[in-house]
Amino acid sequence: MREIQISDADRRWNTPEKAVLVTSVDPEGKPNMIAVGWLMRANMEPPVFAIGINNKSRSGDNIAASGEFAIAVPPVELAQQVMYCGTHSGEEVDKFAETGLTAVSGKIVKAPLVEECLVNLECKVVKTQEIGDHRVFFGEVVASWVSEKEGKPLLIVGEQEGYELVYEEKGFRLGTVKD
């Protein structure tokens, strides 16, 4: 073994990673969404997921103020729309209008579901952890939805064999696993 910078170590193993959308609403009820790759299950019962959100993100402010978010799992066909959500700010654009994705009301939280996604999870924030440049929201899943259509979840992919690159921008590579 040899010592190496963390950024170089990362390249050996940081893909594949799921790429999801996280929706939220601002105090006036206006919806926003962001692309999130920092996501993990964090409790079994009740089911809780953790998401890591940049402190500068408007979505983070929405989630902190409302105590709610939804996780929407996109199929690979939405690669370009997810990239748009990850590279633009909700302060400047209406991401639902710009991507054409459809906001649908959930059952419990005000953050919308995304109609075109494979899975949607309504989450209520049960804990928040400030780290440094990011904060981590822990959301208990209070309602779960699945699409009637099957599909392959979108992944952040590396350059290894076996993956299909579907859309690349600004060094971010989105795709899926080859059949």
User: With binding defined as CB under 8 A, does residue 134 bind a second copy?
Assistant: yes
Q: Give the range of 14-22, 81-89, 92-100, 167-175 binding a second copy by CB under 8 A.
A: 14-22
Residue among 46, 65, 77, 91 that touches a second copy (CB under 8 A): 46
Q: How far apart are CB 100 and a second copy at their closest, in Å?
A: 18
Choose between 72 and 83: whose C-beta lies nearer to a second copy. Answer: 72
Contact string (CB under 8 A) for a second copy, positions 47-76, x = contact:
xx-x-x-x------------------x---
Structure tokens at 159: 């350059």
Residues 6+ apart with CB under 8 A from 5: none
* Cα separation, 161 vs 139, whole angstroms: 34
Residues 6+ apart with CB under 8 A from 109: 68, 69, 70, 122, 123, 124, 142, 143
Residues 6+ apart with CB under 8 A from 96: 31, 33, 102, 103
Residue among 39, 58, 88, 167 that touches a second copy (CB under 8 A): 39
Choose between 28 and 179: whose C-beta lies nearer to a second copy. Answer: 179
Choose between 28 and 130: whose C-beta lies nearer to a second copy. Answer: 130
Residue bearing tokens 């904060």: 135
Contact residues for a second copy, defined by CB under 8 A: 1-6, 8-9, 12-14, 16, 18, 37-48, 50, 52, 54, 73, 104, 107, 113, 115, 118-121, 126-127, 129, 131-134, 136, 138, 141, 143-148, 152-153, 155, 160-163, 176-179
